[in-house]
Amino acid sequence: MMPPISEEIRPSETISVRKTQEPQLYQNADQDDLESKAKKYLLNYGTKFEKDVITGSHGMYVYTAQGHRILDWTSGQMSCLLGHGNPEIVQVIHDHARGLDHLFSGMVSPPVISLAERLASILPAGLDKAFFLSTGGESNEAAIKMAKVYTGKFEIVGLGASWHGVTAQALGTQYHYGRKGQGPLMPGMHMLPAPNAYRSIFRNTDGSYDWETELNYGWSLIDRASCGSLAACIVECIQSSAGMHVLPKGYLKALRKHCDEQGMLLIVDEAQTGVGRCGNIMAIEYEDVVPDILTLSKTLGNGLPLSAVITSAEIERVCVERDYCFYTTHVNDPLPAAVGDKVLELVLRDNLVQHSKSLGEELHAGLRKLSTRYGCIGDVRGRGLMAGVEIVGDRKTKKPDLELAKSIADKAYELGLWANLSSHASFGGVFRIAPPIVISKSQLDEGLTILEEAFRSTPGSMRLY
């Protein structure tokens, strides 16, 4: 069913900036005072802070110190899978903060065991055992180290548009941002071309994307660069941080074959795609590929710091024999594990995977309709409730227009919609959309209506009607 984007464009005044009367945790906060203190005391860690101070969050919305209610179409940092302040999650946090929060790292607790059991029950054979950490970067760091210990080799292959974290080995496998200014990175890291159906120069005679030639060419370069110690390849099923680029159908299976031929492990990072986001419980189901190691984060903790490393009993056995160690202060902490266990329970109990698939189809239909109305939309892509909308200055040349994209994003925010805009030059001008998968049809329509008005009222959007 097509979302109701009206053919009759109404004046922008019909969508007003919405003030909220809902109680906020910091409802008496002073925006100017907080903004001043933030500038004075907060250390920059590589991003520019948004101007508004967020003083509350509930369900599908976040609230500013000035009382502005904003529909959150990025689930926080792509993490609040079940929305902000989900009451059942809140109860789990309350119970475990009071009765079972944090333990010595060598101790084990019921929620950790339960989460590992539940993951094993929904994942394919070969993904049988898990341990739990705090962030996606941490889980990828642990997975890469595991692959090195298991294979006895040290070279790691990543994709040019991936984001795996900012720790040493995870950072070494991502190539579009964050690598400069620190001297040499980890040795033995190699890059495959970033799969980009919209912009790749690899084309079949009919103009379609020739990802197989591109992938094989990439491996030929790695074969020449490698010193003969290839341990693993790490990949995301959707390259989100680089602009929501979906692996082409067949790509993951081809990657699995290359890894097998090279005697390498395949690591799949499902930080954003996992736990129902893309219309499958895990994105690996889309191609029926079982990686040697699977990492989860973001969506598993619904906004709490929780990540997972899942692998086979055989890989674990060998790594134990070779003294594998990834011992941290918060490994297998009971409180976040209890939250992750509840997240999985709710996703399965409430049939949210199918909901994500169905609402995702409506989201993409609505975004595609927008692309028929505004010439600045160069591409719409994604899967399930995970979408990218790329803004260009010219559809023929595909030249990015970062200024126009920012103007549209600013207008959408003013009207009450947050859809993160990638702004770095290497992956800029793309709206990254990933609302909580509990989003309702009316909330989806609300967001599409706001987005339509943002495009309509922004000069330069190239109206086609």
d(CA 364, CA 342): 29
The active-site residue out of 24, 174, 239, 272 is 272
The distance from CA 158 to its chain's CA centroid, rounded to whole angstroms, is 17
Angstrom distances, CA of residue 52 to CA of 62, 64, 65, 275, 402: 11, 6, 7, 31, 21
* Residue 234 dihedral angles phi and psi, to the nearest 5°: -115, 140
Active site residue 203: no
Catalytic hit among 73, 163, 219, 418: 163
CA distance 341 to 331: 15
Q: Which residue of the set 236, 333, 341, 453 is catalytic?
A: 236
Give residue 386's Cα distance to chain centre: 8
How far apart are alpha carbons 8 and 293 in whole angstroms?
51
Q: Choose the catalytic residue: 148, 153, 256, 298.
A: 298
Phi-psi region of 202 (alpha: psi -120 to 50; beta: other; left: phi over 0): beta
For residues 253 and 200, give the distance between their C-alpha atoms in angstroms, rounded to a whole number.
Answer: 20
CA–CA gap between residue 100 and residue 352 (Å, rounded) = 28
Residue 144 C-alpha from the chain's centroid: 19
The one catalytic residue among 148, 411, 432, 456: 432
Q: Catalytic one among 269, 341, 379, 446?
A: 269
List C-alpha distances in Å: 357 to 78, 406, 437, 438, 457.
17, 29, 9, 11, 31
236 is catalytic: yes
Q: What is the DSSP letter of 113?
A: H
CA dihedral 198, 271, 432, 349 (to 10 degrees): 110
- Decide if 270 contacts 284 (C-beta within 8 A): yes
How are beta strands 430-433 and 387-394 bridged, if at all? antiparallel
Is 30 an annotated catalytic residue? no
Q: Is 163 a catalytic residue?
A: yes
Query: What is the C-alpha to C-alpha distance for residues 234 and 141, in angstroms, rounded to an integer?
Result: 11
152: left (phi over 0), alpha (psi -120 to 50) or beta: left
326 close to 148: Cβ distance less than 8 angstroms: no
Burial 50-74 (b: 16+ CB within 10 A, else e): eebbbbbbbbbbbbbbebbbbbbbb
> Which backbone phi and psi does 144 adopt, to 5 degrees?
-65, -45
Q: What is the rounded (10 degree) CA torsion for 450, 452, 458, 463?
A: -170
Residues that are catalytic: 163, 236, 269, 272, 298, 432
